Amino acid sequence: MENLLKQIVEFIKDYVKDAHAKGVVIGMSGGKDSFVACKLCVLALGKENVFGVIMPNAKMTDLEIAKSECELLGIRYKVANIDNLYNETINLTQNILETKTLSDVSTINIAPRLRMNILYSVAGTLGYL
């Protein structure tokens, strides 16, 4: 298991170096996946080169857990509520389609796509791309 951990850490180091990036930005959800990914990046790059973004959509049941995880790992982080962006995106799409409702697939996928765009923008600004 220790050998696998070393391989993963080396992979992250090499990947970031090959990308000519200064670090990584991670969306922190308060779940196991984002915590493990963040921990691996901290091991590979150092906590100063990992930035967390917590993006609730109105309420987030794991908000305090996500904050605690960032603090435990010692990374810089910000909380940004995407509720207004989410609702505006739904309203804009409804206006484009001249409808009052969107499909379930559309509404389910809006928040993750917004989060992706925000993470990409933050990473680019920090020089992490």
pLDDT tens column, 61-100: 999 999 999 999 999 999 999 999 999 999 999 999 999 8
Tens digits of per-residue pLDDT, 46-66?
Answer: 999 999 999 999 999 999 999
Q: In whole angstroms, give the CA distance from residue 40 to residue 25.
A: 13
Residue 1, pLDDT score: 83
Residue 66, pLDDT score: 98
Residue pair 23/38 in contact by the 8 Å Cβ criterion? no
Q: Is the pLDDT of residue 129 over 90?
A: no
Tens digits of per-residue pLDDT, 7-26?
Answer: 999 999 999 999 999 999 99
Q: Which residues pair with 51 in a beta bridge?
A: 25, 76
Which amino acid belongs to residue 83?
A: D
Instruction: Please tell me whether the overall predicted TM-score, pTM, comes out greater than 0.95 for this model.
Output: no
